[in-house]
Amino acid sequence: MKDFTQGHVSKQILYFALPMLAANVFQQLYNVVDSIVVGNFIGTEALAAVGASFPVLFVLISLLFGVSSGISVVVSQYFGAKEYENVVKAINTFFVFIFASSIVMSVVGIYFARDIFIALHLPKEVINPAVDYLQIYLGGTIFMFGFYGTNAILRGMGDSKTPLYFVIFSTTLNVILDLVFVITFHWGVKGVAYASVIAQAAAFFLSTFFINRDDSLVHLSLKSLVIDWEIFWKSLKIGLPTGLQQSFVALGMIAILRIVNDFGTSTVAAFTVAGRLDSFAAMPAMAMSMALAAFVGQNVGANEIQRVREGFKVTLLIASVISVSVSVVIYFFGEQIMGFFTKDSNVIAIGYNYLLIVSSFYLVFSSMFIIQGALRGAGDTLIPMFITLFALWVLRIPFSIILSRPSFGLGIDGVWWGIPLAWCFGGIASYIYYRMGKWKNKAVTKPINID
């Protein structure tokens, strides 16, 4: 495990972030490979179905992911404070919550899948394959959350390399099963969903076996999974704002999808592909943010506030350089990359316009993510939640609706312009709040000297 409370700051963050970045890239390959296989071997309608399922899935899982992040922060701070008994209690609490909640979420999502897509005005020819994909995927969410949980715990204790190996294994298995189920067995979108579930289940069992090795601090078993209510409420205080934030962000994606659906199947397919590429472009900022959160969590727990400030500055600089480089690549090669997913020229043109507009503001996006990662690691999540909700629901969605109206002449491009508008507000507001310094007294382990 990695102790972030001593040593060279920039090297620690960068070396910790690189395996996380690689893991996030491979994790995104789940969705990318699904889209490539579906777009090339099944068709545009199936591609739109897989894409339409993602925002719905995100809504269902985002609250659980957010609340779980609170427990991960608590683990990180206890580990930094060398309170190992509480680390074990927090991890057990984490898995009790994960398993119970994922079962409830799966049942609800499977039952209401068709009603959700009908309410979103998804094109009729897309609804049946979308329902098939979503229901199968939701059936395996207990494995997805279990896999996420084991990786999050390892990262909270400073180990980012081992989760990378598990993600590579899972992604490779997913690719193989995608090709077998779709090309050989002709299972269509059902085959793509089954491939993801099986790959996640295999990775979860493998990672659990690793955590239970003899020299590990933690040993997972059904007997040891007892919830510690004091730690749970501490974690909920940190994680609930993040969970609500992610839930409302997910609902915002649903609202955007509802607007996009009115522009037809080709636009939904383009939104699917461009969204996959956009997620890839966001990976460096997200990885650096997660690394900084773990770094900040341990150093806040150890009362090393100066190291927190130094880590923030270094991470912001690295993420900025990467985001500008990604923007340049997308500007010159975005259209060709779109062509890997589909040969439909209309889909490619629509998706490329999305990428041109959004990628111009990746520097703003990465800065916002880094700032919020620092705040999250310190346990300060409530104000960032309100900032995100305001940017999304007061700015992005209303402007996307207004700018896409015929009177403005932007069409679907008006929807895309709402995205960077929200980022600009979120980045500025988050930085102002970080400078206020209230995050310094949010530790769960002990009071922080803020002088």
Q: How does pLDDT run across 69-79, given as a tens digit for each residue?
A: 676 778 777 87
Q: How far is CA 49 from the centre of its chain?
A: 20
The verdict on residue 303 lying in a domain is yes
Amino acid type, 280: F
The reply to whether 2 falls in a domain is no
65 touches 200 (CB < 8 A): no
Q: Measuring CA to CA, which residue among 16, 279, 31 is closest to residue 170?
A: 31
Q: What is the pLDDT of residues 175-185, one digit of tens each?
A: 899 999 999 99
The CA-CA-CA angle for residues 180, 182, 184, to 5°, reads 50
Q: How far apart, in whole angstroms, are the C-alpha atoms of residue 104 and residue 141? A: 10
- And the tokens for 105? 């979420």
Residue 449 pLDDT greater than 50, yes or no:
no
Position 451 scores a pLDDT of: 40
Give the integer Cα–Cα distance in Å for 390 and 396.
9
What pLDDT does 220 receive? 66
Between CA 326 and CA 334 the distance in angstroms is 10
pLDDT at 446 over 60: no
Q: Are 166 and 227 in contact (CB under 8 A)?
A: no
**Residues 208, 212, 215, CA angle at the centre, nearest 5°?**
140
Location of structure tokens 């700051």: 9
Taking the whole predicted model, whether its pTM rises above 0.85 is answered as no
Q: How many CA atoms lie within 13 A of 366 on its CB side?
A: 29
Q: How many domains does the chain have?
A: 1
Per-residue pLDDT tens digits for 273-311: 888 888 888 888 888 888 898 888 888 877 888 898 899
pLDDT of residue 448: 43
pLDDT at position 156 over 80: no
* Chain segment 180-204, per-residue pLDDT in tens: 999 999 999 999 999 999 999 999 9
What confidence category does residue 216 fall into, taking pLDDT thresholds of 50, 70 and 90?
low
Do 59 and 254 meet the contact criterion of CB atoms below 8 Å apart? yes
Task: Examine residue 448 and state whether it is found in any structural domain, yes or no.
Answer: no
Residue 253 has pLDDT above 60, yes or no: yes
Taking CA atoms, 374 is separated from 29, 65, 113, 395, 431, in Å, by: 27, 18, 36, 24, 11
Which residue range(s) make up the domain with 308? 9-441
Domain for residue 172, yes or no?
A: yes
Q: What is the pLDDT of residues 342-364, one digit of tens each?
A: 888 899 999 999 999 999 999 99
Residue 187: inside a domain? yes
Residue type (1 letter), 31: N
Beta-carbon count within 10 A of 221 CB: 9
Query: Residue 408 falls within a domain, yes or no?
Result: yes
Residue 83, in any domain of the structure? yes
User: Residue 3 domain-assigned?
Assistant: no
